[in-house]
Structure 1
């Protein structure tokens, strides 16, 4: 039953790899469907992303946050939503699961998809240059390699999700011609155990799917239907995947976008690197008619993904509120 869970399952994605036997693919799709219809979360094993690349990205995350604040502030987030977000500058006011009044206790570097200078959409909202520290040239190289690998994983997952919804394996492809990609390199310092203070306040994600690599500190929790917060501790060699709001709407509520939060009470620094795999800004998101049962109606009005996303960014980030 949707929302009724007390743990997060491990799903082996090796069945989605090219050349996998049809029965292996069917088993993976079934496991993915069960996880995403019940908890909206899964640990992903057999994902095919090299562990040494994941570890290099983690090391670059730590190295960036070790830079002096004055160096990081040279990269302060720009109007294209790329760059450094200092501590306490994002407050999730659009959260549908909590009234959030205190800013998140985290700092981060936001990196997005590369935009060619001659792209017809260059200069449009969030379509601009990334910012990287000059003193850490390996970060750019590592981030680009990591995002390429994670994009490939996102494409495989989208195919599996399409099949889980009874759609052709390539159904989502036309909506991801120029995917909207976010890699957020997060640092959560040790925080006081204070009411309504979070590393990341209770929220659901905006987009299609989130693929999270967390370190060994822990602190991520997921809320079930009964209101219990279920720990999601790190499992070596896996990513934590979760459904975002736009995928839940796309699936007419079949797949669940589940509230989650981070509290870092470990007395250690926590580092994580969520990767968000989202549709093209120009993609029209509407529930596919071929997925609806007889008499079932679409729960959402069609929306351009770019319009949907910008509304949320404009409300949740201090730098955008001040600019508007």
Structure 2
């Protein structure tokens, strides 16, 4: 029985966080099982670069079906430079091998946005575990970083990111920004495909993503030995969508939860990104699209590295359910993206750092 599953004499349930709130799903087997997905679909993304609108619309149809039925899909043949991706994974391995004191220079507890280094077991999405068995580094939108070429305003004038200054770690910032820029460009194209999948003009969301909220979380998952451990607990993401590039391992560590409460493995695939819909797009579609629960459990005996890129609308953007998906007579709330993001950050992220009195709880950030 995993850390996120409970059983009674007649029933078994999977527990998770969905939209920042605890949830659970009954495990259904045999005659009780419902029609749901048993694998993550693969979609050829070469058409995203086509100048023919009909090609992009055909791609959007496949993407829309995956968003409605699964909430996850593989973006195959994404077109992002493979050598750059290989170099970035090399930088991840090099960074996480650095001495702890070098990494702790940018400990995420030093910033309001929890940017920087997160040590092992500091995140704790599943309260039944001793913590998430991973270490990571979080960066994101920051107008004071010249690499992002963003306008500096009173609300964005304070630095958000932290970067190491030790000579042994100076390779890290340029390596991450090469990845950041490539994923940012691809995400802008992806947003057009999502708009077409919703029967909207492909530029529909452009006005609210002029300065989008973005994050990269570089993550290292060591091999797990305890069955009670989890790399990261079961949850949904709180952004527009997530692109994941994961290292090649023989044993799949990323798992997504289907409608029957069964964990479906997401195998590493060459020349692919794993794409998942997150809470903002679920909200904007009135629940038509799935923000699917997922987790990481690394039991293959290998070191695993992952680089999720999170893309959201502008921090001050106001969003609600798109007009043609609204039901007659129902009221729909409008929410400010940055406020919702911070609320989810506060709910989902906890650390149990030693506060001098044993175990203490603090809020945390990241993936």
Structure 1 residues 104, 283: CA separation in 2 closer, same or farther (over 3 Å shift)? same
Q: Note the alpha carbon deviations across 1:104-161, whole angstroms, 9 max, x for none.
A: 110001111232374332257xx62332353232221121121111011111111111
Alignment of 1:78-117 (within 5 A): 78-92=111-125, 101-116=129-144
Q: Distance in 1 between matches of 2:123 and 2:325?
A: 37
Q: Distance in 2 between matches of 1:153 and 1:8?
A: 21
Q: Distance in 2 between matches of 1:3 and 1:39?
A: 12
Say whether residues 1:61 and 2:61 are aligned partners: no
The match for 1:96 is: none
Determine helix, strand or coil for the equivalent of 2:218.
Answer: strand
Higher Cα Rg: structure 1 or 2?
2
Determine helix, strand or coil for the equivalent of 1:74.
Answer: helix
Structure 1 residues 294, 80: CA separation in 2 closer, same or farther (over 3 Å shift)? closer
Q: Distance in 1 between matches of 2:204 and 2:35?
A: 26
> Which of these residues, 132, 154, 158, is aligned with residue 164 of structure 2?
132
The match for 1:178 is: 211
Contact 1:100-1:201 at 8 Å conserved across structures:
no
**Cα offset for 1:18?**
5.0
Identify the range of structure 1 (70-79 vs 111-120) with the bigger mean alpha-carbon deviation.
Answer: 111-120
Q: Distance in 2 between matches of 1:226 and 1:103?
A: 26
Determine helix, strand or coil for the equivalent of 2:89.
Answer: helix
Structure 1 residues 310, 250: CA separation in 2 closer, same or farther (over 3 Å shift)? same
The match for 1:199 is: 231
TM-score, normalised to structure 2, is 0.79
Say whether residues 1:250 and 2:281 are aligned partners: no
> Which of these residues, 20, 36, 53, is aligned with residue 22 of structure 1?
53
Q: Distance in 1 between matches of 2:292 and 2:363?
A: 31
> Which structure 1 residue ranges, 5 or more long, are not aligned?
94-98
Q: Note the alpha carbon deviations across 1:225-283, whole angstroms, 9 max, x for none.
A: 01111110101110000000111111111110111111011112111111111111111
Q: Distance in 2 between matches of 1:293 and 1:281?
A: 24
The match for 1:308 is: 340
The match for 2:223 is: 190
Q: Distance in 1 between matches of 2:77 and 2:99?
A: 38
Structure 1 residues 210, 296: CA separation in 2 closer, same or farther (over 3 Å shift)? farther
Say whether residues 1:39 and 2:70 are aligned partners: yes
Say whether residues 1:143 and 2:176 are aligned partners: yes
**Cα offset for 1:186?**
0.3
Structure 1 residues 323, 257: CA separation in 2 closer, same or farther (over 3 Å shift)? closer
Contact 1:45-1:238 at 8 Å conserved across structures:
yes
Structure 1 residues 3, 52: CA separation in 2 closer, same or farther (over 3 Å shift)? farther
> Which of these residues, 74, 81, 84, is aligned with residue 105 of structure 2?
74
> Which of these residues, 32, 50, 60, is aligned with residue 81 of structure 2?
50
> Which structure 2 residue ranges, 5 or more long, are not aligned?
1-33, 146-151, 354-359
* Alignment coverage as a number of residue pairs: 312
TM-score, normalised to structure 1, is 0.90
Contact 1:147-1:183 at 8 Å conserved across structures:
yes
The match for 2:297 is: 263
The match for 1:211 is: 243
Q: Distance in 2 between matches of 1:62 and 1:230?
A: 27
Contact 1:15-1:26 at 8 Å conserved across structures:
no
Determine helix, strand or coil for the equivalent of 1:158.
Answer: helix
Contact 1:3-1:38 at 8 Å conserved across structures:
no
- Once superposed, what is the RMSD of the aligned Cα atoms? 2.3
